[in-house]
Amino acid sequence: MWTILIKDLSEFVGKEVTLKGWLYNERSSGKVKFLILRDGTGLLQCVYFKGNVSEEVFELASRLGQESSIEVTGKVKVEPRAPGGYELDATGLKVISESHDYPITPKEHGVEFLMDHRHLWLRSSKQVAILRIRHRIVKAIRDYFDGKGFTLMDPPIITPAACEGTSTLFETDYFDLGKAYLTQSGQLYAEAGAMALGKVYTFGPTFRAEKSKTRRHLTEFWMVEPEVAFAELNDDMDLAEDFLEYIVQTVLKDKAEELKVLERDTTKLQNVKKPLPRISYDEAVEILKKNGIEFEWGNDLGGTDETVVSNQFDKPVMVHRYPAEVKAFYMKRDPNNPKLALAVDVLAPEGYGEIIGGSQREDDFDLLLSRIKEHNLPQEAFEWYLDLRRYGSVPHSGFGLGLERTVAWICGLDHVRETIPFARMIYRNTP
Ligand code: 4AD
Ligand code: MG
């Protein structure tokens, strides 16, 4: 038998119920004791009147420490002033396990302290709301691609070579075969999948040994990567904007309660509808110059540059055709200007920066081989990838969306560390 959940209490008004959970908070006023129960689905105020319950129960209600696991019994009442809108006129109280000196109290704590206690911090209302939104985004991502005829394809995590540049690889010894690396991206394998199935997506953890200690960088993060055969850069951008609209609008519709817990002002999120503005890298550079930023053509956009560019728009903006020099080896060059890569980055509004990076892929065997050599990549490790250009090469494109950056943006958080249950960053690999 499932326990009755706080989220379902509307079905039990006027009835006596028993619920299980943890003591979130408590307060007293003379002959009344208020216990706030949390059960992972919501909060419920349980009211114990001294005269209505046994002395034993009242004494217990007065003694229990924060986060004690308990079972409460009582009658469900509508109470608009209580969190969640219901209240329990409580009569029974049983302890499952007492807790004392819970380290996270309702007072303010520093972020490092909370991150050290991440395994407990997850129990707070705000963290619960973030995890629920993350889950909804994951499901929206899957629903979107599944509904559009994409096949989910799981790429390997242990790989023989770099995808996004050699400077951010996590290395490991691999038996007699020498070095192996944790994947930076499933893309190269997704390309093989697209040649087999037409439209695929990968969705899983990816790793970057980033030296960057910013609010946007994790060393382990989740990425979803669609890859489509016969798609060119414009098709890729069409897909990205349709996909983003779906995700954001789905979360707004289904997770309004959680967004309220996070006090997220959703006005800017409401704007995330097709079409999204598309500007070239050259136009982005113009915007930077107009805003008094010293920026040299040819550089990649930094975090601040991205913020300045995206502040010109009330929606995410797609910046396409970056200098090939600052982009990955596999990107196709613009036939109209070989200095440019047929790349696109989607920058989120409100200072959240790049959430999507994508491109049309180099589909010509000779050009791809020369790129591999220019980038000093080991050709042998890429022979299988070159095979995709040897045997029936076609134009194809895809992109990667970073899950944690997307969660941070939608939830309005100022750091990605709260968007994943247990963040891995340059200075943290615990708990
Ligand atoms: O731009 P990136 O590096 O692109 C790729 O990996 C391509 N292979 C994707 C593709 O075309 N299939 O990464 C894609 C996205 C970024 O836009 C960002 O949202 C996220 O992944 N990302 C990170 N998120 C958190 N921490 C990091 N260190 C991240 N690096 C990239
Ligand atoms: Mg990128």
What are the boundaries of each domain within the chain?
Answer: 2-97, 118-418
Smallest CA-to-CA distance from 209 within 179, 167, 180, 178 is with 167
Do 12 and 113 touch, CB atoms closer than 8 A?
A: no
Where residue 215 falls among pLDDT bands split at 50, 70, 90? very high
Rounded Cα gap, residues 203 and 187, in angstroms: 10
What's the pLDDT score for residue 1? 52
Q: Whose CA is nearest to atom 6 of ligand 1?
A: 185
Contacts of 3 (CB under 8 A, 6+ apart): 18, 19, 20, 39
pLDDT tens by residue, 257-305:
999 999 999 999 999 999 999 999 999 999 999 999 999 999 999 999 9
* CATH fold of the domain at 118-418: BirA Bifunctional Protein; domain 2 (3.30.930)
Report CA 211 to chain centroid distance, whole Å.
Answer: 21
Where does 52-145 show beta strands of DSSP type E? 69-78, 86-97
pLDDT tens by residue, 306-327:
999 999 999 999 999 999 999 9
CA 69 vs CA 14, 46, 187, 286, 290: distances in Å: 25, 14, 45, 59, 59
Ligand closest to CA 402 = 1
Where residue 83 falls among pLDDT bands split at 50, 70, 90? confident
Q: In this model, does residue 211 exceed pLDDT 90?
A: no
The per-residue pLDDT of the chain, averaged, comes to 96
Q: Determine whether the shortest distance from the Cβ of 398 to ligand 1 is under 6 A.
A: yes
Report CA 271 to chain centroid distance, whole Å.
Answer: 20
Q: Determine whether the shortest distance from the Cβ of 186 to ligand 1 is under 6 A.
A: no
Q: In this model, does residue 91 exceed pLDDT 90?
A: yes
Report, as an integer, the average pLDDT of 254-258. 97
Instruction: Give the Å distance between the CA of 354 and the centre of ligand 2.
Output: 7
Lowest mean pLDDT of 1-10, 227-236, 276-285, 291-300, name the range: 1-10
Backbone angles phi, psi at 312, to 5 degrees: -75, -10
CA 247 vs CA 40, 145, 242: distances in Å: 24, 11, 9
Do 369 and 379 touch, CB atoms closer than 8 A?
A: yes
| Homologous superfamily of the 2-97 domain (CATH) | Nucleic acid-binding proteins (2.40.50.140)
Max CA separation in the chain (angstroms): 86
Q: Whose CA is nearest to atom 9 of ligand 1?
A: 400
Q: How far apart are the first and last CA of the chain?
A: 33
Q: Determine whether the shortest distance from the Cβ of 193 to ligand 1 is under 6 A.
A: no
Q: In this model, does residue 352 exceed pLDDT 70?
A: yes
For the CA of 217, the nearest atom of ligand 1: 26
What's the pLDDT score for residue 6? 97
